[in-house]
Amino acid sequence: MNPVTDPRKMPETQRLPRHVGIIMDGNGRWAASRSLPRVEGHRRGVEAVRRTVRAAGDLGIEFLTLYSFSIENWSRPPNEVSDLIGLLKRFIRIDLADLHRSQVRVRIIGIREGLSADLVNLLDEAEELTRHNKGLTLVIAFNYGARQEIADAARALAKKVQAGLLDPDAIGPDDIAAHLYTSGIPDPDLIIRTSGEQRLSNFLLWQAAYSEFVFMPIHWPEFDAAALQEALREYGSRERRFGGLVSRNAMTGS
């Protein structure tokens, strides 16, 4: 086990999040700062994905959600979109066997309609092969947008109401959550964004209602186990109140 990601190196009092979401930002800027083509930044970003998945698994994090491709990313230049799709395909083809051996369960969230048949088949294969694994659940948000996710959930609920299967007055937050792409996945405790930007960019808007946020100045290709642990230490220093108050006993330790 890599000593940097060895959970025994973490402080005994470290409070780990159950679910970490990451907005992987800064591939292009990393490449530009080194006078490299943008695709090289994306390639190095895939290497950062491998490091991060390994580190999260070693630390005992249960769920890791990576924002890999948004609905809005289709508006990028066609060559860059093609590069990004190609890198995703390559990652699945090369890394899926290793992920499976490591008991990683892969889940893909996002819209599959309109994607090429070979890509859909790869996504289906990744989920099916790893469906019964018991280790880290790696959630890849691909062709994903949170507003579209909420709209799709509302549409599904409306169809149930129309069919007489659901009383509209009985609809609550749990019903909406059950119809999101992330149904069955706990809300993220911590969301990390690299590159210094401080916004969600249409990522897990519903699920992030009570998430802690850590914004890191490094670009995604620079992210590694040490950076993950830095974010976890920051998370561990926070007091999560979920809209309530910290009890006096919790504040005093009595």
Any idea which residues carry the catalytic annotation?
25, 73
Sign of the torsion angle spanned by Cα atoms 47, 52, 58, 62? negative
| Residue of 133, 179, 139 whose CA lies nearest to 155 | 179
Local structure of 51: helix, strand or coil: helix
> Residue 190: CA atoms inside 13 Å, Cβ hemisphere, count?
27
| Nearby residues of 28 by Cβ (< 8 Å), 6 or more positions away | 38, 41, 42
Reference 49, options 10, 105, 87; nearest CA is 87
Q: Which amino acid is at 183?
A: S
Cα diameter, the chain: 60
- Tokens representing 95? 């890394």
Residue 66's CB is within 10 A of a number of other CB atoms, namely 21
Separation CA 124–CA 113 (nearest Å): 13
- Pair of tokens at residue 236: 């561990």
